[in-house]
Structure 1
Amino acid sequence: MKKELWWKTSVIYQIYPRSFQDSNGDGVGDLKGIIERLDYLQWLGIEAVWLSPIYPSPMADFGYDISDYQDIHPLFGSLADFDELLEAVHSRGMKLILDFVPNHTSDKHPWFLESRSSRDNPKRDWYIWQDAAEDGGLPNNWLGVFGGSAWEWDEVTGQYYYHGFLKEQPDLNWRNPEVREAMLNTLRFWLDRGVDGFRVDVIWHMIKDAQLRDNPVNPDYTEYMPTYDRLLPVYSTDQPEVHEVIREMRELMDSYEERMMVGEVYLPVHRLMTYYGVDNKGAHLPFNFQLISLPWDAAVIAAAIDEYEGALPTDGWPNWVLGNHDRPRIVSRIGTEQARVAAMLLLTLRGTPTMYYGDEIGMRDIPIPFDEVQDPQGLNMPEKNLSRDPCRTPMQWDDSNNAGFSSGKPWLRIDQRYVRNNVELQRNDPDSILSLYRKLIALRQREPSLVLGVYTPVFADQQMIVYLRTYDGSASFLVALNLSHRPAYFRPVEGQYLGVVVVSTNTELEGTRVSGSLSLAGDEAVVVRLDRED
């Protein structure tokens, strides 16, 4: 395989640091705990690790409200611990990606404390301040993602400030060049330290309409949706000028060797593609969340894959995600057996796959009693059942106390079934989902067709998706996935697909010959190495 950029060939693994491994018994995961588990990630085949925020923060939104962009929260350790982690990651031939949260700071950040101190403070324009409307009401109708108005009244200075999320998370004014330079300097701080890339939080929120026009009402809103969805955020997000900001970030990345930027973007495919930027000078990987958001239906997903592949700009590199810290886990969405099929899909599609910690052992969402809910989204809208706590519970390492995560009381409940579902148990079981993930990752690493090869759709119906992965001079692979619980059949109309099953959700199929048609049981999937044509 020719030498390619690491972010094109790696499997990225997201760690939610609070929940991965606690090294000091305080019930919260930390950097030293991550260091302890790096050998596991290397064994699994992970080549890039992404950490959710670890910066100093009042933790109103668990680290996404940052009070200092150039340090480490004591809960997680110190800068010295971070440097040790970075060295340990690099010594294993792996890369480290940090979360970067540029849209908003904490209201305890020194910049905001200055900004709200007086109307004539030099940093006043670093945030978005606005007078009340003529009738004394809110400046406009914009809503906060976590509920209620996005405007907060400040008694001291007699103006409102804008916060797209919590009131403790005031939005920065990215139209101010001083803000841009200050934030680019925070990126330089970590790049100079040796960080390999950044996942940029809510990148499409960063610029707002200059006129602060009202958002239109969402005609499709129902009472079961989050209150934020009552309006279409056409003026508060995804403004054309955001691409100038992203281009500046990209120019900074490109001034270092092989650094990369992932952009968090929840937008339709045609809008998502604009975040690659003109001449591919935007985000290297605008996150593609279709496998998280779409119904688990073979025909729908097959069509979405084709639409995405067809929409990619020239030289734009695809990526796929099954889960993250904001959405229900894949097992809780589609069930344990289909989660294995989903793993096959994630790791055989063209592009960079991103995994969420614990999905490789089939962790599920855990019910958190109302009096234990910690997520602000859940606390602010309890009637909507929107807490993200259930998908953030501690990693299940073994059958010892607290699943090997901590010697103290964990910050969130652990799945009661951890004794029967943990890394140690699955590691030695060839039929486990962990073994399936490891086999698939190893196959990707060996086979150019699965990393760099062309994706060619072959067949799809209401149950099944079949596609080819091919690369000049290398073995070709046929991937067949049954996304239903009933038997499914593939009978080629043209040509023959002859080969050997190399990975399957059913290990008993591995090593068997395929000649012509395929018959798959419910919840079954296969990767077939095709015979070479001489």
Structure 2
Amino acid sequence: MTDATSTVPLPSDLPGQPADWWRTAVIYEVYPRSFADSTGNGVGDLQGIRNRLPYIASLGVQGIWITPFQRSPQVDQGYDISDYCDVDPLFGTLADVDSLLAEAHALGLRVLVDIVPNHASVEHPLFLRAVAAGPGSPEREMFHFADGNGDAAPNNWISVFGGPAWHRVAPDSPDDRQWYLHLFSPAQPDWNWRNPAVVDYFDDVLRFWFERGADGIRIDVAHGLFKAEGMPDSPAVPTVIDGLRSNPLVTDQEPVHDVYRRWRTIADEYSPERLLVGEVNLEPDRAARYTRPDELHQAFAFAFARLGWNPAEWAAVGSELEKARREHGSAPSWALENHDLVRTVTRFGGGERGLRRARAGMVALLGLPGAVYLYQGQELALPEVDIDQHQRVDPMWVHSGIGRDGARIPLPWTAGPGNAHGFTTGDDVTPWLPIPDGWGALSVENQDDNPDSTLNLLRKAMRERTTLLENGLPADERVTWRHEPNGLVVCDREGGLSVAIAMGDEPVPLPAGTVIVRSDDGTDATLQPDTAAWFWRAG
């Protein structure tokens, strides 16, 4: 591993932020490839993020989560890591990380680093050693190597990206007939978490980033890590790609909780304690178990993030999440977008109606108790982009015909002509994914001075949210969800604040109270279809 020595002061409690800042934080997800390019090669980088930190701070958020920038062959855009404790030259250097941390902290922003503990890259030195060492070696115990069933794979497990979850180590070798497990692409072998050496290895990875100054980590596929003992055939082989949910043998195994208890102990060694956030793509009652008091601080509410525009589903899922929180004491963590999901403008119907709904969804989330995660471009109401097949780079597309590139288009910063809109240093540079014609109208520059823009709607909602919290609005109060036949969904917070969303086709009267924020420019006590508002309940 790279030396953890850093010139960055360790993070301390930032002015205006309590020790448990994460309970109410709004955190902005930065996808480095698509945020800002400072070098003119068409790919975003760490210096580009540094240059734009004042913009992020202007949104009023409390922190940023940066998706992987560690050394990687970039088969899965950084989620195939070959060195967990170094920076890929595509994005910069460790010195750039140090500067970014220092500058973010100076602006009052916390920084979360993405860690990928379920799988590595086939170029990771430990995997290369395992391949070279041969069957039966201790080196191979770091990963899942197994003999096949004759010429067939060891079991019937399917990869998230399509096809078998097993790959031959040396297809042409007469002596090495073993296979290795990869729940994602063949370039991403899964670690064997039943081996204590793997546990120790990742202890060091956590401490490296915590000691470097990171305020916390986001944990990729946090529910994956352990596979069922003996790795038997799955009782159901999926016919469509649906993540890991269809195979109960590859996720949510009980030993994973011991790992997070161990990590929580490590996080608590630091002052202030470091934040642990898990990507736990399970139903609410199972996901909440990962955020018991001695495990992770937060887990994304994926049941909510997958929602379409359906009032009954919003109220039902909200109620499920609240029930799970009361049972396990987990802190809510809300999101509607990330780098793996279809953008809400498109997911909620597209066009002008999809835009109104995306604005309403964003405002609604910010009115709920707990933490909120926003994805870069959500504040601009960027839509999903249908990319030509020859321009797609997502390995998921290559193997399954389902791709995530459309949510990862580079941000448009300026409204001027050209094909890059300020994303890179020159408009003659072609970004790594194409920015559509017309996106100048959605750019930061174009929205910045428009009081009715989605960007300024976010800023207004953030100001009101901050004021409410400063005036004592509880971070973890209980809520009650309900929906009415006219399509109105309401989340009542026990302290008197409510969030209302008009999800039907007709205007609906707001419940009696005083409106604080709304997603449209209305002034009366009526919510138009596809809009949302926060209000203090009367009485």
Q: Give me the TM-score of the superposition, normalised by structure 2.
A: 0.89
Bigger mean CA offset, 417-426 vs 85-94 = 417-426
Instruction: Please name the residue that 1:13 is paired with.
Output: 28
1:348 and 2:355 are equivalent in the alignment: no
Classify 1:93/1:2 alpha carbon distance in 2 versus 1 (closer, same or farther; 3 Å). Answer: closer
Instruction: State the Cα deviation string for residues 217-272 of structure 1 (Å, max 9, x = none).
Output: 26xx6x6x32878x931112211111111211111111112211111111111211
Against the structure 1 CA distance between its residues 353 and 154, is the aligned structure 2 distance closer, same or farther, given a 3 Å change threshold? Answer: same
- Please name the residue that 1:515 is paired with: none
State the shift of 1:467 in Å. Answer: 2.9
Q: Is the 1:486–1:523 contact (alpha carbons within 8 Å) kept by the matching residues of 2?
A: no
Aligned equivalent of 1:131: 147
The correspondence for 2:480, drawn from 457, 465, 472, is 457
Does the 8 A contact of 1:100 with 1:198 survive in 2?
yes
Say whether 1:238 aligns with 2:252: yes
What residue number does 1:194 align with? 213
Q: Deviations over 1:392-415 (max 9, x none)?
A: 000111113311101221000113
Q: Write the distance in 2 (CA, Å) between the matches of 1:191 and 1:178.
A: 20
Assess, with a 3 A threshold, how the Cα gap between structure 1 residues 2 and 112 changes in structure 2: closer, same or farther.
closer
Structure 1 match to 2:11: none
Deviates most, 265-274 or 56-65: 265-274
Change (3 A) 1:519 1:227: closer
Aligned letter for 1:528?
F
Change (3 A) 1:435 1:317: same
8 Å contact 1:55–1:70 — kept in the other structure? yes
Question: Retained in 1: the 8 A contact 2:70–2:86?
Answer: yes
Task: Give 1:508 deviation, angstroms.
Answer: 4.0
1:454 alignment partner AA:
E
Query: Does the aligned pair in 2 maintain the 1:331–1:362 contact within 8 Å?
Result: yes
Match of 1:392 in 2: 408
Cα shift at 1:451: 5.6
**Bigger CA drift: 433-442 or 103-112?**
433-442
2:313 is aligned to 300
Q: Is the 8 A contact 2:308 2:347 kept in 1?
A: no
Matches within 5 A, 1:1-40: 3=18, 5-40=20-55
Aligned to 1:494: none
Aligned residues of 1:350 and 1:452 also touching (Cα < 8 A): yes
Match of 1:330 in 2: 344
1:174-213 alignment runs, 5 A limit: 174-213=193-232
What is the distance in 1 between the residues matched to 2:243 and 2:478? Answer: 37
Relative to structure 1, the CA distance from residue 197 to residue 227 in structure 2 (aligned partners, 3 Å threshold; closer, same or farther) is closer
- Report SS of the residue matched to 1:416: coil
Instruction: Note closer, same or farther for the CA distance 1:228–1:440 as it changes in structure 2 (3 Å cut).
Output: closer
Alpha-carbon RMSD across the aligned residues, in angstroms, is: 2.0
C-alpha spacing 1:508/1:237, structure 2 compared with 1 (3 Å): closer
What SS class does the counterpart of residue 75 from structure 2 fall into?
A: coil
Q: Which residue of 1 aligns with 2:533?
A: 526
Aligned equivalents of 2:505, 2:359: Cα separation in 1 = 12
Once the two structures are TM-superposed, the CA of residue 450 in structure 1 deviates from its matched residue by 5.3
Q: Is the 8 A contact 1:56 1:66 kept in 2?
A: yes
Q: Find the counterpart in structure 2 of residue 67 from structure 1.
A: 82
Aligned residue for 1:441? 462
Partner of 1:486: 506
User: What amino acid maps onto 2:256 in structure 1?
Assistant: V
Does the Cα contact within 8 Å between 1:216 and 1:232 map onto a contact in 2? no
State how far apart, in whole Å, the 1-side matches of 2:151 and 2:491 are.
60
Q: Is the 8 A contact 1:13 1:49 kept in 2?
A: yes
8 Å contact from structure 1 (residues 147, 227) kept in 2: no
Does residue 250 (structure 1) correspond to residue 264 (structure 2)? The answer is: yes
CA distance 1:363–1:228, change in 2 (3 Å): closer
- Contact 2:25/2:370 (CA < 8 Å) preserved in 1? no
- Contact 1:12-1:46 within 8 A present in 2 as well: yes
Q: Is residue 372 of structure 1 aligned with residue 391 of structure 2?
A: yes
Q: 1:4 to 1:529 in 2, by over 3 A?
A: farther
Structure 1 residue runs without a partner (length 5+): 492-496, 513-517
Which whole-Å CA distance do the structure 1 matches of 2:165 and 2:198 have between them?
Answer: 21
Decide which of 198, 217, 235 is 2:236's aligned counterpart: 217
Residue type of the alignment partner of 2:129 = E
Give the equivalent residue in structure 2 for 1:261. Answer: 276
Equivalent AA in structure 2 for residue 34 of structure 1: I
Structure 1 residues 294 and 431, CA gap change in structure 2 (3 angstroms)? same
Q: Distance in 1 between matches of 2:474 and 2:212?
A: 29
The separation in 2 between residues aligned to 1:17 and 1:316, in whole angstroms, is 30
**SS of the residue aligned with 1:420?**
helix
Matches of 1:74 and 1:314 in 2, distance apart? Answer: 42
Partner Cα distance (1:460, 1:442) in 2: 28
How many angstroms apart in 1 are the aligned matches of 2:242 and 2:522?
Answer: 49
Residues 428-483 of structure 1, C-alpha deviation per residue, up to 9 Å, x if partnerless? Answer: 11111111111111111111365616243374124111233354xxxx43322112
In structure 2, relative to structure 1, the CA distance for the partners of 1:179 and 1:415 (3 Å cut) is same
Residues 359-389 of structure 1 deviation map (CA, whole Å, 9 limit, x = unaligned)? 111001112111111000011122xxx1100
Cα 1:453–1:177 change in 2 (3 A) is closer
Q: Provide the C-alpha distance between the structure 1 equivalents of 2:473 and 2:386, rounded to a whole number of angstroms.
A: 37
Structure 2 counterpart SS, 1:205: coil
CA, structure 1 residues 265+456, in 2 after alignment: closer, same or farther (shift >3 Å)? closer
Are 1:319 and 2:333 matched, yes or no? yes
* 1:119 and 2:159 matched: no
Which residue type is aligned with residue 403 of structure 1? H
**Distance in 2 of aligned mates of 1:124 and 1:372:** 37
Q: How far, CA to CA, are the matches of 1:7 and 1:498 in structure 2?
A: 29
Amino acid of the structure 2 residue aligned with 1:360: E
Deviation of the 1:120 alpha carbon: 5.1
The answer to whether structure 1 residue 291 and structure 2 residue 323 are counterparts is: no
Task: Provide the C-alpha distance between the structure 2 equivalents of 1:525 and 1:26, rounded to a whole number of angstroms.
Answer: 41
Is the Cα contact below 8 Å between 1:444 and 1:451 reproduced in 2? no
**Match of 2:250, SS?**
coil
Number of corresponding residues: 504
Report if the CA contact (8 A) 1:325-1:391 is conserved. Answer: yes
Among 269, 281, 293, the alignment partner of 2:294 is 281
SS at match of 1:148: coil
Cα distance between partner residues in 2 of 1:339 and 1:137:
47
From 72, 86, 97, the equivalent of 1:82 is 97
Distance 2:370 2:27 in 1: 11
Q: Which residue of 2 aligns with 1:415?
A: 436
Of 421, 424, 430, 1:403 maps to 421
Matched with 2:8 is none
Letter in 2 for 1:328: V
